[in-house]
Amino acid sequence: MHNEWFAGINHEFVGFALPLKGAGTFGVSSSFLSFGELQGRDLEGNETTIFRPYDLAVILSYARGFGDSLAFGMNAKFLREQIADESGTGVAFDLGGLYNFPETPLSLGFNAQHIGPRVKFIEEAFGLPVTFRLGAAYRLWNDALLLTTDIIRPSDNDIAIGIGAGYTIGNVLQLRTGYKYKIGGNDLGAISGLTGGFGLTFLRFQIDYALIPFGVLGLTHRVSLVANF
């Protein structure tokens, strides 16, 4: 996945998952967030060298279903942050679960992200932004229409509520839209919570695109490719 943000910020993600019959699904992935080139300065404000800060996460994943209704999963993440000559490392975990109600098109899920010890950077230690999510999905019209909603509670920000919809045409084209509203108000304007996109499925491949406005900061673009073998 390639996520092109603003001000030279880019996010890259690549992952691989292997389902093993009777043992669950194992995965490995990597997430890389780069901030472009920045001009270094000393304490007097004089220019020094150019540096390229980044955040890197290497992720090990495991998920398993229990019957047709219940599934659980977790991530173990190894984190590294680099700013000029200074770096910090840490570990964190994600936990999640999904329940599909029997004989109904309703699903409920929960997720907890960035659980772990404080991360030390230079001489300071800071806690990771733990985020809790609770969501629901409902399918209509022989699963062609998907309606979703979730509540998001980050430890370092306001509670947010998200709604979304996706419509599949002929098992080939998926149209999607959504909106996320922060209880304290969207910092970059109301339109910054809006998203839209589409997906295309062909043989073993799926391509997805999303357009995400960030108010005065401009538009961001997200493109992903999934291959099934």
Model confidence pLDDT, tens digit, residues 188-216: 666 778 999 999 999 999 999 999 988 77
Q: What is the pTM of this model?
A: 0.90
> Are the C-beta atoms of residues 63 and 71 closer than 8 Å to each other?
yes
Say if CB 172 and CB 202 are below 8 A apart. yes
Highest mean pLDDT: which range of 35-49, 70-84, 204-218: 70-84
- Tabulate helix, strand, coil % of the chain (nearest 5): 5, 70, 30
What H or E segment, with its residue span, contains residue 3?
strand 2-4
Give yes or no for residue 86 having a pLDDT over 80. Answer: yes
| Contacts for 188 with CB less than 8 Å, ≥ 6 apart | 214, 215, 216, 217
DSSP bridge partners of 51: 38
Residues 9-21 have pLDDT tens digits of 999 999 999 999 8
- Rounded to whole angstroms, how far apart are CA atoms 51 and 40? 7
- How many CB atoms neighbour CB 92 within 10 A? 19
Radius of gyration of the chain (CA): 20
CB atoms within 10 A of CB 6: 11
- pLDDT one-digit tens code per residue, 103-154: 899 999 999 999 999 888 877 888 899 999 999 999 999 999 999 999 999 9
Listing DSSP states for 61-97 in one string gives EEEEEETTTEEEEEEEEEEEEEETTEEEEEEEEEEEE
pLDDT at 185 over 80: no
pLDDT averaged over every residue in the chain: 92
> Which stretches within the chain are classed as H helix?
none
